[in-house]
Amino acid sequence: MALKLLHSPEAPPCFNLTCPARRASPPSAPWAAVWLPRPAAAAFSPYTRRLDLEADTPFLRQKGIRCATAHTFEAGLWRGPGFLANCVGVRLHDTQGRPLGYAGRRLDPDKARRFGKWKLPPRLPKRDLLYNAHRALPQALRGLAVVECPWGAMRLAQVGLPAVALLGTQLFEAQRSLLRDAARIVLLLDGDPAGRHAAIRCADLLSPTVDVHMVDLPDGADPDDLSDAELVCRLRPFFPS
């Protein structure tokens, strides 16, 4: 329930519910407290239509993501209007592989700086999801790498390593539950202060139930900044064939 205080210019506003003036006021006073029901939050609605994204785009090539990989992960530039306008889109799925919609990586530097690099569908239940879980979790007995964003998961898939992305730096309880059956977790978060602090937090949360390893990246580097050979060198020891 939400409390809405109504008052007229003639009446002195009183915001203390124990105020004598309020207690003495008749119920019809125009500035009396009125309890209004809070509107129910709208439920998330999956967007299941498949969009025709341009996989062969300079942004993905710069990330080291091959055209075939972009096709597999349904990622690419959207040249139409709407939610993904001027974005590289990435299709999202739940753990069963059912489509949920698209995340958009903003290409306009000014908008990326002002609003954040990523756009997510409204009311997406992000706390319950891990990007690429429907592909990676069946390989959990080999171990799983955990990265921050979809590009890292795609790059690791290119070298044959299963990975999921947090879509950020926070690890929530439902996500922990998805990871608990892995043979081991390898945290490969970004090499900036936020990523390093997040890696420590994630390790603390996961270590009671699963074997956890942290791989540190060079200062300021993301997983997609490394070459395939560098990724294999850093992670292959944790993933027996």
Domain-wise residue ranges, the chain:
2-36, 58-124, 133-238
Q: What is the pLDDT of residue 206?
A: 98
Better pLDDT: 194 or 34: 194
Q: What is the mean pLDDT of residues 203-211?
A: 97
CB atoms within 10 A of CB 137: 17
Architecture of domain 133-238: 3-Layer(aba) Sandwich (3.40)
- What is the pLDDT of the chain when averaged over all its residues? 87
pLDDT for residue 8 is more than 50: no
Question: What tens digit of pLDDT does each residue of 30-72 get?
Answer: 433 444 555 556 799 999 999 999 999 999 999 999 999 999 9
Q: Tell me, what's the pLDDT at 42?
A: 77
Is the pLDDT confidence value at 201 over 80? Answer: yes
Q: Encode 68-77: b = buried (16+ Cβ within 10 Å), e = exposed.
A: ebbeebbbbb
CB atoms within 10 A of CB 201: 15
Average pLDDT of span 178-182: 96
Q: Say what the pLDDT of residue 10 is.
A: 36
Q: What is the value of pTM for the model shown?
A: 0.82
| pLDDT surpasses 60 at 23 | no
CB 101 within 8 A of CB 46: yes
Alpha-carbon span 137 to 74, nearest angstrom: 19
- On the question of pLDDT at 13 being above 50, the answer is no
Q: Could you give the percent of the chain with pLDDT greater than 90?
A: 82
Q: What is the pLDDT of residue 41?
A: 60
Residue 95 amino acid letter: T
Asked if residue 182 has pLDDT above 50, the reply is yes
pLDDT, residue 65, reads: 98
* pLDDT at residue 186, as a whole number: 98
Helices (H), the chain: 20-24, 58-62, 67-72, 109-115, 133-136, 150-158, 173-179, 193-206, 228-235
Q: Which of 150, 137, 152 is nearest to 53 (CA)?
A: 150
158-172 residue pLDDT tens: 999 999 999 999 999
Q: How confident is the model at residue 28 (pLDDT cuts 50, 70, 90)?
A: very low
The residue among 40 and 197 whose pLDDT is bigger is 197
Segment 105-146, tens digit of pLDDT:
999 999 999 999 999 999 999 999 999 999 999 999 999 999
